[in-house]
Amino acid sequence: MKSARRIHPQGFTMIELAVVTAVIGILLCVVAPSIRNNENAGRAAQIERIAQSAVGNWATLTQQTGLPTTVNNSPIAATPSATGVTEVLFIGASKVASSFQPAYSASSVQAMTQIVDNPSGSTFRTAGSVNTTITMDGGGGSPVTVTFQNVSNLIAQAIINHTSADASLTVDGNSYTVGPWTYTCASATLTCTLTYSRQL
């Protein structure tokens, strides 16, 4: 006589699948805010690095050439304008006026192509961002400024907290200054304009 063996079906039961799905959902709820905070902190650090590097590199170039720190109409740029200076700093040697190529090479200033994107000629953005645009101005007797537009209020908050741990971001359309940063945040869009200033 043959012994009958019961064959068990392969796979998971609906209850097992529901339990696994619930566990994954709980883990995502716990981990997602941490991932978002890390992303905001990373973007904030990137903006701080761009601002500090741009102003520092501009100071180095003007010292190397003996020219004033004025950003607008600087003859260091092949196209003397504020945009021309950002091209020199963000794109590199190809945007330097030929008479200043030796000084640029001697300065050891490096183009910031890994942290700044240039999608459309004269528009510069933080790398990986489609909205955050960068401009420069000032110099001479005034501070050199680097302005970032369309920055998320969460990223702006991270920058402000890095400058002053107990500072809070005010989102009311008015301008506020914390350390080297001046910010204006619109409540309707939850985006900010941040300006980094440094006297050279």
**Mind spelling out the 3-state secondary structure of the chain?**
CCCCCCCCCCCCCHHHHHHHHHHHHHHHHHHHHHHHHHHHHHHHHHHHHHHHHHHHHHHHHHHHHCCCCCCCCCCCECCCCHHHHHHHHHCCHHHECHHHHHHHHHHCCCCCCCCEECCCCCCEEECCCCCCEEEEEECCCCCEEEEEEEEEHHHHHHHHHHHCCCCCCCCCCCEEEECCEEEEEECCCCEEEEEEEECC
Structure-token match 């640029």, residue found: 104
Tell me, yes or no, whether 4 lies in a domain.
Answer: no
Nearest to 52 by CA among 153, 159, 128: 159
Tell me, yes or no, whether 3 lies in a domain.
Answer: no
Total count of domains within the chain: 1
Tell me, yes or no, whether 7 lies in a domain.
Answer: no
Say if residue 26 is exposed, middle or buried (CB neighbours under 10 Å; 0-12, 13-18, 19+): exposed
pLDDT per residue as tens digits for the range 101-147: 999 999 989 988 888 887 666 688 888 776 889 999 999 999 999 99
Is the pLDDT reported for residue 192 higher than 70?
yes
* Owning domain of residue 22: 15-198
Contact 53, 112 (CB under 8 A): yes
- Rg of the chain over CA atoms, in angstroms? 25
How far, in Å, are 20, 26, 79 from residue 98 at the CA level?
65, 60, 11
Tell me, yes or no, whether 119 lies in a domain.
Answer: yes
**Mean pLDDT of all residues in the chain?**
87
In the chain, the percentage of residues whose pLDDT exceeds 90 is: 51
pTM score: 0.80
pLDDT per residue as tens digits for the range 50-94: 999 999 999 999 999 999 999 998 999 998 888 889 999 999 999
14 or 104, greater pLDDT: 104
Tell me, yes or no, whether 10 lies in a domain.
Answer: no
Contact 56, 199 (CB under 8 A): no
Tell me, yes or no, whether 2 lies in a domain.
Answer: no
Return all residues near 46 (Cβ < 8 A) that are at least 6 apart. 115, 126, 127, 128
Tell me, yes or no, whether 175 lies in a domain.
Answer: yes
Tell me, yes or no, whether 8 lies in a domain.
Answer: no
